[in-house]
Amino acid sequence: MKDLKPAHKDAYALILDAIDVGIYKPGDRLVESELAERFGVSRTPVREALQRLETQSLLARDGRSLIVASLNHNQLAELYVVRGELEGLAARLAARHATPEEIRVLAEMVEGDQALVGDPNAMSRANRRFHKQVHLASHNHFLVQQLDLVHRSMALLATTSLAAKGRSTRALEEHQAIVDAIRDRNGTAAYESMKSHISISYEERLRLDAAGYGDET
């Protein structure tokens, strides 16, 4: 089997990943030629990717330029309302449909992530993996699609609420409560644990923003 060349990579996924990991932050200008050179792809797929990202409101117009969009206070509140309900539903369905193997993987994630406490960026990546695993354990294709859209919008928040002092440890405790409820097949407890987890994360973000940390995740 031949190795895939960089030109065969999905320009949309490459740009989205770059926003997600903070290479491009809210307000940064995205230039078609620079992106093509950075990712080793032609300008046509980059142009198509930029149009798609603009349609999804992940990019915004600033004159003739495209910049990474940002969320205002009200949009942030709206995003967390939707996220809390959808993530709660995913946890409830996971309690009903997750396989024993999926539950073990979730438990192993929580245990393994203990080693990442103190590294906000690593914890943020681990947090996304955990939540994605809960989404998949819901075994509901349409819900997973909607949560993917929500989490793309989360990329517009430039840092993580896990940067707050002590937040990583508490977040893992909250993750453990979610896993315990899923393991017990207690859909109500799973829903409530997840909703509480998202609410606490939102509250922590508001505190960080109020303290001057900026519009970050």
Q: How far apart are CA 23 and CA 44, in angstroms?
A: 22
| Judgement on whether residues 195 and 111 belong to the same structural domain of the protein | yes
Which pLDDT does position 215 carry in this prediction? 41
Which pLDDT does position 159 carry in this prediction? 62
User: Which of 42, 68, 94 delimits the end of a domain?
Assistant: 68
List of residues 6+ apart from 71 with CB closer than 8 A:
26, 79, 153, 156, 157, 215
CATH number reported for the structural domain that contains residue 62 in this entry: 1.10.10.10
| Judgement on whether residues 50 and 99 belong to the same structural domain of the protein | no
Q: Is residue 114 part of a domain?
A: yes
| Judgement on whether residues 179 and 111 belong to the same structural domain of the protein | yes
CATH number reported for the structural domain that contains residue 138 in this entry: 1.20.120.530
Q: Is residue 1 part of a domain?
A: no
| Judgement on whether residues 43 and 110 belong to the same structural domain of the protein | no
Q: Is residue 137 part of a domain?
A: yes
| Judgement on whether residues 59 and 89 belong to the same structural domain of the protein | no
| Judgement on whether residues 64 and 10 belong to the same structural domain of the protein | yes
| Judgement on whether residues 131 and 200 belong to the same structural domain of the protein | yes
- Beta partners for 30? 66
Which pLDDT does position 102 carry in this prediction? 98
Which pLDDT does position 94 carry in this prediction? 98
| Judgement on whether residues 156 and 181 belong to the same structural domain of the protein | yes
**Average of per-residue pLDDT across 84-98:** 98
Number of domains in the chain: 2
Q: Are 64 and 106 in contact (CB under 8 A)?
A: no
User: Which of 25, 49, 68 delimits the end of a domain?
Assistant: 68
| Judgement on whether residues 113 and 43 belong to the same structural domain of the protein | no
**Average of per-residue pLDDT across 178-190:** 98
Q: According to the 3-state scheme, what is the secondary structure of the chain?
A: CCCCCHHHCCHHHHHHHHHHCCCCCCCCEECHHHHHHHHCCCHHHHHHHHHHHHHCCCEEEECCEEEECCCCHHHHHHHHHHHHHHHHHHHHHHHHHCCHHHHHHHHHHHHHHHHHCCCHHHHHHHHHHHHHHHHHHCCCHHHHHHHHHHHHHHCCCCCCHHHCCCHHHHHHHHHHHHHHHHHCCCHHHHHHHHHHHHHHHHHHHHHHHHCCCCCCC
Q: Is residue 94 part of a domain?
A: yes
Model confidence at 217, pLDDT cuts 50, 70, 90, reads very low
Sheet of 59-62: strands edge to edge? 29-30, 65-68, 59-62
pTM for this entry: 0.81
Domain that holds residue 22: 6-68
Distance of CA 114 to the CA centre of its chain: 19
| Judgement on whether residues 85 and 64 belong to the same structural domain of the protein | no
Average pLDDT, the chain: 88
Model confidence at 214, pLDDT cuts 50, 70, 90, reads very low
pLDDT in tens, 101-155: 999 999 999 999 999 998 888 888 899 999 999 999 999 999 999 999 898 888 7
| Judgement on whether residues 130 and 188 belong to the same structural domain of the protein | yes
**Average of per-residue pLDDT across 213-217:** 43
Which pLDDT does position 7 carry in this prediction? 42
Q: Are 106 and 177 in contact (CB under 8 A)?
A: no
